[in-house]
């Protein structure tokens, strides 16, 4: 591929490998989700079983609407965590009026198959006092959870307090806290020929725009400063920007960039013929890492910053390659599939990527020995995956029957999958941060 004659053609060239234009194929996937986007079927075999958990409605002295919001958040996020199976409240036999933070009818909960139990109270009209408790029914005990009591909360502080409680429960049970409240950034279509950068929390809350949609903005990644680096046509050609600040100012065309854990910036850029991966220092290309063979795009760093994965079509169709951080020879790690794209390197040392299939596109993981695991199958068209910071989840874009094109979350084994954006949109290239 050569330098296009205008910027729109360049954009389309970049999308050939980085953001695949898959056919709009809707497959026969049943609508097995409730209004909160929670699944009623599973996809395949699981790496682990879920613990059955019961939950009483939070008792309110004043703000019933706030209590309803807490109940909804607990219900959604406990199941979204993939660690818990919520027991149907219709099966409960315990007298809810007698269930308090200090009094529990253990036998009643045990008899309906509940292993763990959550209760809570909310007092005040703002500031609020929130008290949540976690119980081990099998051991007939209250489990002390960090953050179970949070007093003097403003309205905007209640939801984060609930997330901290859920994260702490996961930490107590597994040794590693949950990450509810973490952010996912993405590009999304805003109009004919325009795209914006947006952000949403992992449970779908607080979705908002962060970089304007009056031009073309693409390929967002989190920057060490806490900001977001992305490719924008704001200056008339594709450059790297951080927030409202233009980072690169040269004749070259940039096709996305990624920071390592040590703060090193790698970017894919074109100087007129093909694309190569460069290290960027002070907003300028400082070292070319790939050798000019074909198109080289979508750089993603290993967790320790010692290696770099990317996509190249040097052997024909796009495949995932890995090289040392300083450049040199690269080795191919995807040997199956004719069109593999958008890799992301997770903290578990696995690369997740999208691969074109007979049905459209699916999500796979691969280790450095080339061992692949399929995450999605016969579930619409799935693209642009990324790992969560803790390696427990994969976020990706999916177009599915009855749901349109949304950002989805999957457990790392693919068994549990949830839509997390309520509205369908032209989403692409989500990236997950803390």
* Domain edge (last residue) among 115, 142, 174: 174
Domain that holds residue 120: 51-174
Report the candidate in 183, 16, 6, 175 with the shortest Cα–Cα distance to residue 83.
175
pTM for this predicted structure: 0.90
Give CA–CA dist 77/58, Å, rounded.
15
**Is residue 45 a part of any domain in this protein?**
no
Give CA–CA dist 285/120, Å, rounded.
55
b/e map 64-92, b = 16+ CB within 10 Å: eebbebbbebbbbbbbbbbbbebbeeeeb
Give CA–CA dist 292/305, Å, rounded.
23
How many independent structural domains does the chain possess?
2
Tokens representing residue 246 in the block: 């233009």
Do 217 and 153 lie in a common domain? Answer: no
**Is residue 213 a part of any domain in this protein?**
yes
What is the CATH number for 105?
Answer: 3.40.50.10070
Give CA–CA dist 328/9, Å, rounded.
31
**Is residue 32 a part of any domain in this protein?**
no
Give CA–CA dist 394/415, Å, rounded.
11
Do 95 and 72 lie in a common domain? Answer: yes
**Is residue 43 a part of any domain in this protein?**
no
Tokens representing residue 64 in the block: 């019933």
If one counts every other C-beta atom within 10 angstroms of the C-beta of residue 301, the result is: 21
Report the candidate in 125, 120, 198, 210 with the shortest Cα–Cα distance to residue 161.
120
**Is residue 125 a part of any domain in this protein?**
yes
State the DSSP code for 107: H
Give CA–CA dist 427/383, Å, rounded.
10
Per-residue pLDDT of the chain (434 residues; tens, 9 = 90+): 333 334 334 443 444 333 333 333 333 333 445 555 565 445 666 667 899 999 999 999 887 899 999 999 999 999 999 999 999 999 999 999 999 999 999 999 999 999 999 999 999 988 999 999 999 999 999 999 999 999 999 999 999 999 999 999 999 999 999 999 999 999 999 998 999 999 999 999 999 999 987 999 999 999 998 899 999 999 999 999 999 999 999 999 999 999 999 999 999 999 988 899 999 999 999 999 998 778 999 999 999 999 999 999 998 899 999 999 999 899 999 998 889 999 999 999 999 999 998 878 999 999 999 999 999 998 889 999 999 999 999 999 999 877 789 999 999 999 999 999 988 889 999 999 98
Do 82 and 226 lie in a common domain? Answer: no
Do 405 and 287 lie in a common domain? Answer: yes
Do 143 and 203 lie in a common domain? Answer: no
Do 138 and 222 lie in a common domain? Answer: no
Within its chain, how far is the Cα of 258 from the centroid?
Answer: 16
């Amino acid at each position: 591929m050569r330098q296009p004659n205008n910027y729109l053609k360049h954009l389309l060239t970049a999308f050939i490998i980085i953001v695949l234009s898959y056919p709009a194929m809707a497959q026969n996937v049943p609508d097995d989700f409730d209004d909160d986007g929670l699944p009623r079927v599973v996809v395949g075999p699981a790496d682990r079983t879920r613990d059955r958990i019961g939950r009483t409605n939070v008792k309110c002295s004043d703000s019933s609407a706030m209590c309803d919001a807490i109940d909804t958040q607990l219900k959604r996020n406990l199941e979204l965590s993939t660690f818990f199976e919520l027991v149907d409240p219709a099966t409960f036999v315990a007298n809810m009026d007698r269930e308090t933070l200090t009094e529990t009818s253990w036998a009643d909960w045990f008899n309906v198959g509940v292993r763990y139990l959550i209760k809570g109270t909310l007092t005040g009209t703002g500031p609020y006092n929130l008290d949540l408790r976690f119980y081990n029914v099998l051991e007939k005990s209250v489990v002390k959870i960090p953050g179970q009591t949070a007093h003097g909360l403003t309205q905007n502080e209640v939801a984060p307090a609930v997330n901290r409680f859920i994260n702490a429960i996961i930490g107590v049970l597994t040794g590693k806290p949950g990450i509810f409240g973490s952010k996912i950034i993405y590009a999304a279509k805003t109009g004919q020929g325009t795209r914006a950068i947006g952000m949403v929390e992992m449970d779908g809350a607080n979705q908002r725009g962060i970089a304007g949609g009056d031009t073309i903005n693409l390929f967002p990644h989190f920057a060490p400063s806490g900001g977001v680096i992305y490719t924008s046509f704001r200056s008339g050609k594709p450059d790297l920007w951080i927030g409202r600040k233009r980072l690169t100012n040269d004749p070259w065309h940039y096709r996305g960039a990624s920071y390592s854990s040590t703060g090193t910036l790698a970017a894919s850029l074109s100087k007129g013929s093909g694309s190569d991966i460069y290290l960027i220092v002070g907003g300028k290309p400082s070292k070319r890492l790939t050798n000019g063979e074909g198109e080289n795009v979508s750089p993603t760093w290993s967790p320790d910053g010692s290696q770099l994965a990317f996509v190249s079509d040097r052997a024909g169709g796009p495949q995932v390659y890995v090289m040392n951080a300083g450049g040199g020879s690269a080795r191919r790690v995807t040997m199956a599939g004719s069109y593999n794209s958008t890799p992301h390197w997770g903290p578990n040392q696995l690369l997740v990527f999208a691969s074109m299939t007979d049905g459209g596109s699916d999500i796979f993981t691969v280790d450095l020995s080339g061992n692949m695991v399929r995450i999605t199958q016969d579930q619409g068209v799935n693209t642009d995956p990324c790992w969560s910071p803790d390696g427990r989840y994969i976020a990706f874009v999916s177009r599915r029957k009855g749901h349109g094109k949304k950002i989805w979350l999957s457990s790392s084994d693919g068994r549990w999958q949830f839509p997390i954006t309520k509205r369908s949109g032209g989403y692409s290239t989500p990236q997950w941060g803390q």
